[in-house]
Structure 1
């Protein structure tokens, strides 16, 4: 059983990522264009939000998202914390994109580049919840032993409702039991989570670990 799991993780998972992300990019291209137009003409600034994230083995990469907030939002108000949809930094189209997770679509490009996977731990910013990969506790660094995902077990189960260390524990549970079946299950659970649009905002629950 373990050999099958390792084979899936080492070979099949990457192939599945490439095929599905390519098909989704083609199929969602009309929606992709519509979102680009809405973002461009409803707020000032670039269409895409590009940010450094920590990926596999602590490697830094640039993640792509549709911009949902005003330019420089991280340096305004409550910084990384977005407590509700009434946050004045969110653009007119931003709330819709965030609640439906459509702002994540550009990460399909990250998958094709090899930075990310469809399913895996969400990649954190370089300075939160810990300041850099090497400042993570040893037990938590295992979280970076695989490619980060567009969605993952923590994302579809608790999303932003628990502190980061608890989310890391959930991610480690996923890593210990990677399989095609589990990935399919997480994929559909994520769809249900998006439909319900629950725990989109952290409401102050996500605190920084110093």
Structure 2
């Protein structure tokens, strides 16, 4: 039931948010264009609900949008030499992602949910990691308030799976307000690593423990 209500709430608040933030978005576009050559907004293919691809909007924060990602650490670090001055700032305050309100309005994303990754990661997912695809990807999620860039990709996928299986209104509210704290204090202050034994069981590496768990 909540997932249907959530879709309506997402659309309404995303539309209101986009209208209210339009002047800020215009300012960001101007600053990006002044700071470095190239488009201020670009679209990148990502994996959405049920594994369906979609084009995600993003403010350009780097000199080039064609950056080689480390598949074990897909989150770009703040000290990346490809980041522009304006890009570093808008990433810090999460404004580079705010334009994804358009994706929420289009029904491709949600405010809260697993962050969508590039399609090439999908082929490497284990079955338990694909559970995250049962819900729409979000602007922010459980993994982002647990350390995000300071976590291994399997840890983020664990938190994404946990969110997808336990999605609830109250939990979304908690994630929303904790996301604000993360923006203010930084990801490093909220790092919570996943127990290695849990990951071993999920990955089928600890067969004995997995049998006991079942």
| Range into which the TM-score falls when normalised by the shorter chain | 0.7 to 0.9
1:148 corresponds in structure 2 to 137
Change (3 A) 1:26 1:81: closer
Choose which of 62, 69, 72 in structure 2 pairs with 1:69: 62
- Which is helix-richer, 1 or 2? 2
Cα deviation, residue 75, structure 1: 4.5
The residue that corresponds to 2:46 in the other structure is 53
Deviation >3 Å, runs of 4+: 75-84
Please name the residue that 2:178 is paired with. Answer: 189
Is 1:108 the equivalent of 2:90? no
How far is 1:135 from its partner?
3.7
Alignment partner, residue 165 of structure 1: 154
Give the C-alpha shift of residue 73 in structure 1.
4.6
Indicate conservation of the 8 Å contact 1:121/1:153, yes or no.
yes
* Structure 2 segments unaligned to the other structure (5+ residues): 190-214
Distance 1:83 1:119, change over 3 A: closer
Contact 2:150 2:187 in 1 (8 A): no
Tell me how far apart the structure 2 counterparts of residues 173 and 77 of structure 1 sit (CA, whole Å).
Answer: 24
Question: TM-score, normalised to structure 2's length?
Answer: 0.82
Partner Cα distance (2:172, 2:179) in 1: 10
- Taking the aligned partners of 1:81 and 1:169, their CA distance within structure 2 comes to 16
Instruction: Tell me: higher relative CO, structure 1 or 2? Use CA pairs within 8 A at least 6 residues apart.
Output: 1
Q: Does 1:8 align with 2:2?
A: yes
Tell me: CA distance 1:175–1:126, structure 2 relative to 1, closer, same or farther (3 Å): same
1:138 and 2:127 aligned: yes
- Picking from 175, 183, 186, the partner of 2:164 is 175
Structure 2 counterpart of 1:207: none
- State the number of aligned residues: 188
- Report the TM-score, using the length of structure 1 for normalisation: 0.83
Q: Is the 8 A contact 1:107 1:150 kept in 2?
A: yes
What's the CA shift string for 1:166-205, capped at 9, x where partnerless? 11111111122211111111111001000112349xxxxx
Conserved? CA contact 2:143–2:159, under 8 Å? yes
CA pair 96-143 structure 1, distance change in 2 beyond 3 A: same
Q: Paired residue for 2:76?
A: 82
CA distance in 1, matches of 2:130, 2:185: 31
> Where in structure 1 are there 5+ consecutive unaligned residues?
1-6, 201-210
> Structure 1 residues 31, 62: closer, same or farther in 2, change over 3 A?
same
The residue number in structure 1 matching 2:27 is 34
RMSD of aligned residue pairs (Cα, Å): 2.2
